[in-house]
Amino acid sequence: MSDDSNAPLNVRTFSQAISDALDEELARDDSVFIWGEDIGTYGGIYGATGGLFEKHGPERVIDTPISETFIVGGGLGAALTGLRPVVELQSGGYFGIAMDELYNKVARWRYMHGGKFTVPMVVRLPEGAKGAGQEHDVSPEALFLSAFGAEIVIPSTPADAKGLLKSAIRDDRPVLFFEHAVLYATSGPIPPGDHLVPIGVADIKRPGSDVTVIAWSRMVIEALKAAEELASEGIDVEVVDPRGLRPLDKDTIFESVEKTGRVVIAHEAPKTGGAGGEVAAIIAEEMIECLEAPIVRVASKDVTLPQSRHLQQYVLPQAAQIVDAVRSIS
């Protein structure tokens, strides 16, 4: 947490918040370094590493070849020697090229070697639909739910982005850090000082009493829009942002479900195979007696996502679909 709760808040964009976190951790800990494609003199395709090369030098901010296997595998090797790498893939859609390293090596190394090693490594994965094509516009977080050795972190605000990234860098476990590309330009207040957000702790983005909407990443924004519209109809929506999927803060989710008895789960990934199905199953298995209506999921349609931004609007979930889902169980 921040040291001075009375100090004024600093308004930063999501991208700037990521940059601030990297800058502060590079300055704090000599074992931290970052590497990836075009993160040095270019400053990253989303600007999140701008100025860091000039400030911290080429041994701490390292441009790599276009090779996701090398980026992730090299990061793992560095982590095993005691360094704390923050590696960036230009697009989360390229995770498949490094899937063996991510799923079989980074996530499982500590367990495969009887706990003799730690893997203090962060993998930054820009994700989400933005009209950039099939290999870029993906939300693959659910594919890593069974990679049990790695934490899955998904911030939705600049404050969470900064605080969670700083916590991830200090964590001795590997962290898959998903950043929705549409959020980079959004802005919000960030507490001053050494702002840390604990991993595995959900946040109530909007308190309410009638329906629980569980959403992460970009869908938090859509959920808050939906909640404001529904408030005019007398429906009080509570928006719960888990801020990640592993560890999942079941306590906060269960407390909300016990209060409202109605649940909508919203995420951008397709409904089939999406993480919302796992969250819904957990609630159904452990909180069925509290439910007063079926759990409803709001997600992208089960089709290949078009590249056209115009056509994407017919596939991607929006606030209107959350409004309809809440109405259907209210």
DSSP line for 67-115: -HHHHHHHHHHHHHTT-EEEEE-S-GGGGGGGHIIIIIIITTHHHHTTT
DSSP line for 221-273: HHHHHHHHHHHTTT--EEEEE-SEEES--HHHHHHHHHHH--EEEEEEEESTT
Alpha-carbon torsion 190, 13, 93, 226, what sign?
Answer: positive
Strands 211-215 and 237-241: parallel
In this structure, are residues 158 and 190 in contact, taking their beta carbons and an 8 Å threshold?
A: yes
Q: How far apart are CA 22 and CA 308, in angstroms?
A: 33
Token digits of residue 266: 């919203």
Judging by beta carbons within 10 Å of its beta carbon (0-12, 13-18, 19+), is residue 23 exposed, middle or buried? middle
CA atoms within 13 A on the CB side of 222: 25
Q: What is the DSSP letter of 9?
A: P
Nearest to 102 by CA among 84, 117, 114, 87: 87
Token digits of residue 254: 């269960």
Strands of the sheet with 244-246, listed across from one edge? 61-63, 32-36, 84-88, 122-127, 175-180, 151-153, 244-246
Task: Give ∠ CA 205-14-221 in degrees, rounded to 5.
Answer: 35
- Among all residues, which ones are annotated catalytic? 136
Q: How far apart are CA 276 and CA 212, in angstroms?
A: 14
